[in-house]
Every structure is written in structure tokens, then in C-alpha cells.
């Protein structure tokens, strides 16, 4: 971090002094003091914290009429690196609309953080009867205080935008689709079925279903589980896409009603490593997803929805 004692010929080794040399356009002589870590204040034990004190003497128009000497004007600032957190819910919404909205009777305990790129002053909100346990909750915009953020939740408004962590993950190419239409499968209540990975036009699971490991490509349709469903898979990914190359091709959604037991785990390797549900980026912004769980359901993996606006 260097120092800021030498303001005449500073180098990159003294970045604060170097910045003052380059950007002090007032022409007023400035004194600079730097401590790392600070010796006073709340960050004395933080090795990343830097406290800078700037002082100038300047005769002021009004006070100069009755002061014998020019007053000393001082500015003090402390900066540090704040850990951004581990986010398992990422909203890439970057407009001035709410990006994370917990309302109704939502009861969430994530054990990780949520972040949105929304620039709204209400970028992330928790209202109604909700109780949201996620830490930190971060946003490019503002985060209104609320009693519905669980005790201990750290709020980080006005943070840096989150990059798309799955920018390199794409929908399957046309060569992954069969030449004919993909079948639509419905498993009715009180019936059982075992399905293998492959292409389907839709999956409507209401009974007892075992999904084999692999990628389930849903061509233009949706993936749904009924209230009486028992669905399990180990190492599977549901990919909602469309074989059409059109930018406006229909992309299905997810409608999960919890069921008696839904136990699904994402693969630990391959193209969709760690991704349980992937929705094509061509999906429209109004293509909402519904996941209603219960106390016996377990979904392990990431749900990726990158809808266009």
C-alpha cells in the first residue's frame, strides 16, 4: 500500500499518493496521511483496511474576514475489502425492477446467499408473512430493511454486479435431438414408472417415478410433478429448451407441487455439473417457475433460469 508522504514524484508503489498527484486539479497544497491497518476506528484488526487523511489550508471568503490564519480542512476516509459471499441464488435482472421478491408465506432457509443485479431501490424485498434465511442478501440497488429477513441476515446493498456464472453453459445442440418428435410422458397417480435420460416433449409426473442419471431434454414443453408424486433421480439435469433455432421459440417451465417425496440430485461431472434444472436463455421474462416443496423433499443442485426481457 506504500505511503502518501511523497506527493511530488509518487510511483505506483504508493497508489494513494499517485492518485492525488494525477487527480488533484485544484492546485492547492495537500497533506496526506495513510495507515494500514488503521490505528483508530472499527477496522484496526483488518489488514485489508486503509485509512487516509487529507488536509489542506485554504483562506475562505467569509471566514477570512475575521480569522487571522487560513483554517485547516480535513477529510478522513477508511476503505476495506468486504467479502461478497457465497451465492446459491443469483438474479441477473439488471433493470430498475425488483430482482428478488419474497412474499406471501414464503419460509426459506438457504444456508447461503442471494444476489440480484437489479438497480432498483427495492432490488430485494421480503414482505407479507415471509421469513427468509439467506446471508448475505446483496443487490446492485437498494435493499429495504425488513423484519422478514431472518435474524443474522447480512444485507449488502449497492454492491458490484454479479457476473453470469454459467455464461459458458448452453442448451444442447440440434445434433442431440432425435430426427422425430420427442415423446410426451404422463405418469398418473398410483402408478409407477422408470424413465431414462433423453429427449421428451414434456414430462408430467404424478405417480411414483424413478429418473435414471443423465440429461432430460424437454423440447418445447414443461416439467411438472403432481401433489401425489414420488420422484427421485441421482445425477440428473432437466434442460428446458427447443430444437428450433428461432429466437422466439417456445421454452417450457417448471411446475413442481412438492408431492409426497421429490428427491433429485444434480450430476457431479459433465456439461451440467451441479445444475439440476437449466432453462434456455430464450425463455421470456414472464415464463415463471414454481417450486413448492415439503418437509420430505430434497433438491440438490442449481436451478438456472436466464430469461430474456
Query: Residue 225 has what pLDDT?
Result: 93
- Grid cell digits, residue 83: 467479502
- Grid cell digits, residue 288: 415463471
Are 263 and 231 a contacting pair, CB within 8 Å? yes
Q: What is the three-class DSSP state of 224?
A: strand
Query: Residue 258 has what pLDDT?
Result: 64
Query: Residue 109 has what pLDDT?
Result: 85
Query: Residue 288 has what pLDDT?
Result: 66
* Strand 236-241, strand 275-279: pairing: parallel
- Grid cell digits, residue 118: 437489479
Query: Residue 309 has what pLDDT?
Result: 45
pTM of the model: 0.66
**What are the CB-based long-range contacts (under 8 Å, 24+) for 210-214?**
211/236, 211/264, 212/236, 213/267, 214/267
Give the domain ranges of the chain: 15-79, 87-156, 174-305
- Grid cell digits, residue 80: 476495506
- Cβ atoms within 10 Å of 182's Cβ, excluding its own: 18
Q: What phi and psi values does residue 107 have, to the nearest 5 degrees?
A: -130, 105
For residue 53, what are the CA distances in angstroms to 7, 37, 140, 145, 239?
A: 14, 13, 28, 32, 55
Query: Residue 208 has what pLDDT?
Result: 95
Q: Residue 132, exposed/middle/buried by CB under 10 A (0-12, 13-18, 19+)?
A: buried
Q: Give, for all 309 residues of the chain, the pLDDT tens digit.
A: 577 877 788 887 888 888 888 887 667 778 888 999 999 988 898 888 999 998 888 777 777 778 788 888 888 999 887 767 788 888 888 889 999 998 888 788 888 899 999 999 999 999 999 899 998 999 999 999 999 998 888 899 988 898 888 888 999 998 899 999 999 999 999 999 999 999 999 999 999 999 999 999 999 999 999 988 999 999 999 999 999 999 999 999 999 886 668 899 999 999 999 899 999 988 887 776 777 767 677 888 766 665 554
Amino acid at each position: 500500500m506504500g505511503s502518501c508522504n511523497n506527493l511530488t514524484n509518487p510511483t505506483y508503489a504508493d497508489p494513494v499518493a499517485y492518485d492525488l498527484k494525477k487527480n488533484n486539479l485544484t492546485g492547492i497544497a495537500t497533506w496526506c496521511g495513510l495507515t494500514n491497518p488503521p490505528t483508530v476506528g472499527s477496522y484496526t484488526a483488518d489488514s485489508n483496511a486503509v485509512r487516509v487523511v487529507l488536509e489542506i489550508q485554504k483562506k475562505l471568503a467569509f471566514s477570512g474576514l475575521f480569522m487571522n490564519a487560513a483554517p485547516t480542512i480535513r477529510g478522513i476516509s477508511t476503505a476495506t475489502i468486504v467479502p461478497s459471499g457465497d451465492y446459491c441464488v443469483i438474479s441477473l435482472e439488471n433493470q430498475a425492477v425488483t430482482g428478488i421478491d419474497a412474499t406471501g408465506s414464503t419460509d426459506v432457509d438457504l444456508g447461503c446467499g442471494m444476489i440480484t443485479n437489479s438497480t432498483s431501490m427495492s432490488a430485494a424485498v421480503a414482505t407479507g408473512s415471509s421469513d427468509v434465511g439467506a446471508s448475505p442478501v446483496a443487490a446492485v440497488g437498494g435493499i429495504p430493511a425488513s423484519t422478514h429477513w431472518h435474524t443474522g441476515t447480512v444485507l449488502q446493498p449497492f454492491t458490484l454486479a454479479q457476473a453470469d456464472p454459467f455464461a459458458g453453459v448452453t442448451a444442447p445442440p440440434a445434433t442431440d435431438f432425435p430426427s422425430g418428435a420427442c415423446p410426451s410422458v404422463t405418469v398418473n397417480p398410483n402408478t409407477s414408472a422408470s424413465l431414462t435420460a433423453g429427449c421428451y416433449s414434456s414430462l408430467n409426473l404424478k405417480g411414483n417415478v424413478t429418473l435414471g442419471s443423465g440429461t432430460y431434454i424437454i423440447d418445447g414443453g414443461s416439467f411438472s410433478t403432481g401433489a401425489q408424486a414420488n420422484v427421485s433421480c441421482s445425477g440428473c439435469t432437466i434442460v428446458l429448451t427447443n430444437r428450433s433455432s428461432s429466437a422466439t421459440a417456445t421454452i417450457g417451465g417448471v411446475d413442481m407441487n412438492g408431492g409426497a417425496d421429490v428427491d433429485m440430485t444434480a450430476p457431479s461431472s459433465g456439461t451440467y455439473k451441479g445444475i439440476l434444472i437449466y432453462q434456455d436463455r430464450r425463455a421470456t421474462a414472464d415464463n415463471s417457475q414454481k417450486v413448492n416443496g415439503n418437509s420430505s423433499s430434497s433438491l440438490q443442485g442449481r436451478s438456472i433460469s436466464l430469461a430474456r426481457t
